[in-house]
Amino acid sequence: MRASPKAGSPGVAERDASTDARRVLPAASTPTLRWLGCVDYEPTWRAMQRHTDEATGATADEIWFLEHPPVFTMGMNAKAVHLLAPGDIPVVDIDRGGQVTYHGPGQLVVYPLLALARLGLGVRALVEGIERAIVATVAQWGVQAHGRRDAPGVYVGERKIASIGLRIRRNRSYHGLALNVAMDLEPFARINPCGYAGLQMTQLSELGGPASVREVSEALAPQLLRALGFKPLAARQSATSTWLQDVSSM
C-alpha cells in the first residue's frame, strides 16, 4: 500500500523485483473459494495466521471472500500521523505491510491463502495479478481502472477503488485486497489512506456497477484465478449458482 517501504521488510509484498509478473505460469489446481459474509476483523486475521502456521505441503490453497464491520488497520510500517481522527471506529495493529486503511460493510475483502512456491509466484507477480483481476472485474461494468507501480492498488483516474496489503510467511500469503463496492466512504477522510494525504477514494456502485458485494465477489473469483495461474473454473450452471462455498465461521 505504501509506495516506498524498506527493501526486505517482512510482509511487504509490493517490492520483490526478482519475479517477472508477466511470465506464463503452469495451471494449478483450483483453490477452495469461501464466502464468509460479514465477520469481525481480529478473529478472521487470527484464523489466517493459524491457517498459515499449520499448513503443510499437502494443504490446499484457499481464497476467502468477505466483508468486515467498521475498522481501521495499521500495517507494520504504519505511522500514527496518518491516523487523523478515528473517532469510535476501532483501530487494530496488524502484521501486513503498508500503512493505514479502512474496512467496512459494502467493501469486498479478499484474502488469498496461497503456497507461493507451489504456484511459481513471487510477491510482485502476486500483487500485479491481483491488480489485473480487479481491473478485469470492474471492466465488466464499463469502469476503466488501472494499477500503479509507484502506489500499489487499483485506481479510476486519480481516485482509488481498491487497496492491496499482504503478508508473506513460510512462503505463504495472507491478508489481501479490499475493493470498494457500495460503502460509506466517510471514514477514509479520517485517515491518510495508505499513507497518502488527500488521496480520494471511489467505489464501484458510484461508477455504474452493482451495489451487491456478493455479486462482485462472484465476478472477481474467476478473474482472480485466471490472473494467478489457476485452472479456469467451469461455467456456472445458472445465474443463481455460485463459485463460493458459504461458511458460517472459521
From the list 194, 224, 225, 227, the catalytic residue is 194
Looking at residue 3, its pLDDT comes to: 34
Note the pTM of the prediction, 2 decimals: 0.87
Residue 211 sits at the vertex; the CA angle it makes with 210 and 213, to the nearest 5 degrees, is 100
Please list the pLDDT of the chain residue by residue as tens digits (250 residues).
333 333 333 333 333 323 333 344 445 688 999 999 999 999 999 999 999 999 999 999 999 999 999 999 999 989 999 999 999 999 999 999 999 999 999 999 999 999 999 999 999 999 999 999 999 999 999 999 999 988 889 999 999 999 999 999 999 999 999 999 999 999 999 999 999 999 999 999 999 999 999 999 999 999 999 999 998 776 654 444 577 888 865 6
Q: Are 65 and 34 in contact, with CB atoms under 8 Å apart?
A: yes
Looking at residue 240, the DSSP 8-state letter turns out to be: T
Please enumerate in sequence order all residues whose Cβ is within 8 A of that of 88, keeping only pairs 6 or more positions apart, or say none. none
Continuous segment of H or E residues that includes residue 109: strand 107-113
Looking at residue 29, its pLDDT comes to: 82
- Crossing angle for the helix pair 123-139 and 213-227, nearest 10 degrees? 130
Looking at residue 222, its pLDDT comes to: 96
Please enumerate in sequence order all residues whose Cβ is within 8 A of that of 123, keeping only pairs 6 or more positions apart, or say none. 13, 14, 15, 16, 19, 116, 166, 168, 173
Looking at residue 12, its pLDDT comes to: 38
How far apart CA 154 and CA 241 sit, in angstroms, is 28
CATH of domain 29-232: 3.30.930.10
Active site residue 38: no
List the domain boundaries for the chain: 29-232
Nearest residue to 216 (alpha-carbon basis) of 165, 128, 154: 154
